[in-house]
Structure formats: C-alpha cells, structure tokens
C-alpha cells in the first residue's frame, strides 16, 4: 500500500467552533511525515482523528485501509500523546516490562527500547520522580514496544536536549526504514528538515503538503521557517502577519 493514512474532507468542530476545516491529504507508508504548525493550530486534534479518538463533524479518515479507530487497528497503530501515559508509581523498567508483557514482546526488546530513548541508566527510577522530558521518553519507549505499523507521535521531542533529539530522529528513520509509518507533530521548524514529507498547518488548514526539498524550491528559500512565512503570505496576502506572530 502506498499510503498508510488517507484523510478526506476532514472537519472537526468543538463547542460550535471550527477547529479543522476540511483537510484532505495522504501519508505515505514507510516514511517519516511531519505535521508542523504553531501551538493551537490543530495538530493534536488531527492526530486524535487519525487514532480514532476524536469526534469528527465531516469527512473520512482511513488508516491502513480501515476506518480510523476500528478494532482491527488496535495493535497496528501506536500513539504517544503529549501527556505521557505510563504508570507514575512504577519504575521505568517496570513500565516497559509491563508494556512488553501486554504486547507479547520480550524483556530484552523492552530493555532495548529503553536504550533507544537514552534511559537505560535510569531504569530503576520511579516515573513520578522523572523530569517532563524523561517521562515523555519513557512513554515513547513503551509505545515502541507494540512494534506498530503506524506510529503517531505528538510533539515527542519537546524539552529534549539537542543530542537526544538528534538520536531520536535517527531512530524514527530507522523504524521507517523497517517499514513503519511515522506521523510526528512538532511546533519547532528546525525539525521540519528531518522529515521525508511535511504537512504545514495553520488555523486548522493545511498550507503545504510536500517534501522539504520541494517546499524550499517552490518558495525560493533554504530556510524552512522562511518558507512557511512565504506560504502564509501567499495564502493571506491581505493580512501579512507580524513576524513574531507567525514565528513557531
């Protein structure tokens, strides 16, 4: 299958307010696709639609050829939310071993997942005592254990130091090379260049859906943040935004 995720005319309204306004796009299988856009533009809402936990107002979301959220996708789609979803009264190792048991994965794979996120040396520490970034990484390790075909990650690198951020992106590409489809949100434009493909979002609308290289060529700049600005000015010529408002 060429596309792991297909979204058609997706609209979401919350409390009578339009949040997503008729999005149509497809995410290629076996690649890292980035969902980039400023805080509040609707990234989390869109990812929730992809994993099937968001009530939608219109449109269709298909994942691996099935409607998003269908039972058959339960073990094929992994989701790491912005709020880490692991047990705070257990140690990191107890958490990964627990999730390994749930997914029928070996303890060795669990320990390897800990190493992948750079937490081996803290394995015995209770999750409650971790920093936000460490907790997010522990959460990610647990999600990696289900070895999903599609991995949906909501701002997985927030608060990480640059070395670890670099390593995690390398790990995402390793997973993609093995056939996993990654759909990763970020509000940090310097992560955009690390993706095979980019969706740029603003106010619940997509303003670009292309490869980083094509976006650079089309906008005539090597700087993806500048490219984003130029695209916004194209879409909203009557309302050029002051730089600080569009800065991600």
Ligand X SMILES: Nc1ncnc2c1ncn2[C@@H]1O[C@H](COP(=O)(O)OP(=O)(O)O)[C@@H](O)[C@H]1O
Residue 190 falls in which region: left (phi positive, over 0), alpha (psi -120 to 50) or beta: alpha
- When the beta carbons of 112 and 205 are compared against Mg ion, the nearer one is 205
Span from 36-44, 53-61, 207-215, 232-240 in contact with Mg ion (CB under 5 A): 36-44
- When the beta carbons of 43 and 103 are compared against Mg ion, the nearer one is 43
Binds 212: which of Mg ion, ligand X, none (CB < 5-8 Å by kind): none
Residue 84 falls in which region: left (phi positive, over 0), alpha (psi -120 to 50) or beta: beta
- Please, what is the minimum distance in Å from the beta carbon of residue 201 to ligand X? 7
Distance between CA atoms of residues 115 and 126, nearest Å: 17
Binds 41: which of Mg ion, ligand X, none (CB < 5-8 Å by kind): ligand X
- Please, what is the minimum distance in Å from the beta carbon of residue 183 to ligand X? 13
Distance between CA atoms of residues 224 and 214, nearest Å: 11
User: Is the distance from CB of 219 to CB of 71 less than 8 angstroms?
Assistant: no
- Judged by the rule CB under 6 A, the positions of this chain that interact with ligand X are 14-15, 19, 37, 39-45
- When the beta carbons of 15 and 238 are compared against ligand X, the nearer one is 15
Q: Is 81 in the site for Mg ion (CB under 5 A)?
A: no
Residue 74 to residues 30, 51, 77, 82, 113, Cα–Cα distance (Å):
19, 9, 6, 19, 20
Distance between CA atoms of residues 213 and 197, nearest Å: 9
Binds 15: which of ligand X, Mg ion, none (CB < 5-8 Å by kind): ligand X
- When the beta carbons of 13 and 94 are compared against Mg ion, the nearer one is 13
The pattern of x and - marking residues 112 through 151 that bind Mg ion according to CB under 5 A reads: ----------------------------------------
- When the beta carbons of 45 and 196 are compared against ligand X, the nearer one is 45
Binds 40: which of Mg ion, ligand X, none (CB < 5-8 Å by kind): ligand X
Binds 78: which of Mg ion, ligand X, none (CB < 5-8 Å by kind): none
Residue 247 to residues 13, 37, 97, 197, 227, Cα–Cα distance (Å):
26, 10, 41, 21, 12
- Please, what is the minimum distance in Å from the beta carbon of residue 227 to ligand X? 19
Q: Per-residue DSSP letters for 83-135?
A: S--S-TTSBHHHHHHHHHHHHT--HHHHHHHHHHTT-GGGTTSBGGGS-HHHH
In the list 44, 81, 134, 180, the residue contacting Mg ion (rule: CB under 5 A) is 44
Please name the residue that has the structure tokens 């056939």: 179
Give contact residues for Mg ion (rule: CB under 5 A): 43-44
């Amino acid at each position: 299958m060429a596309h792991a995720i297909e979204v058609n005319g997706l609209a979401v309204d919350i409390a009578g307010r339009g949040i997503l306004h008729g999005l149509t796009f497809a995410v290629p299988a076996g690649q890292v696709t980035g969902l980039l856009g400023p805080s509040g533009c609707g990234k989390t809402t869109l990812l929730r639609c992809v994993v099937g936990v968001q009530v939608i107002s219109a449109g269709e979301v298909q994942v691996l050829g099935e409607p998003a959220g269908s039972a058959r996708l339960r073990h094929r789609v992994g989701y790491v939310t912005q709020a880490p979803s692991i047990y705070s009264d257990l140690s990191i190792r107890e958490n990964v071993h627990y999730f390994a048991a749930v997914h029928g994965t070996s303890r060795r794979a669990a320990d390897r997942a800990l190493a992948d996120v750079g937490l081996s040396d803290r394995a015995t520490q209770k999750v409650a005592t971790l920093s936000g970034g460490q907790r997010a990484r522990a959460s990610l390790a647990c999600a990696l254990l289900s070895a999903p075909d599609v991995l949906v990650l909501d701002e997985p690198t927030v608060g990480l130091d640059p070395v670890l951020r670099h390593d995690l992106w390398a790990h995402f590409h390793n997973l993609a090379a093995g056939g996993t489809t990654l759909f990763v949100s970020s509000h940090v434009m310097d992560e955009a260049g690390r993706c095979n493909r980019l969706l740029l979002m603003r106010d619940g609308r997509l303003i670009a859906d292309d490869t980083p290289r094509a976006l650079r060529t089309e906008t005539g700049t090597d700087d993806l943040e500048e490219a984003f600005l130029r695209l916004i000015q194209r879409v909203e010529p009557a309302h050029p935004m002051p730089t600080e408002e569009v800065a991600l």
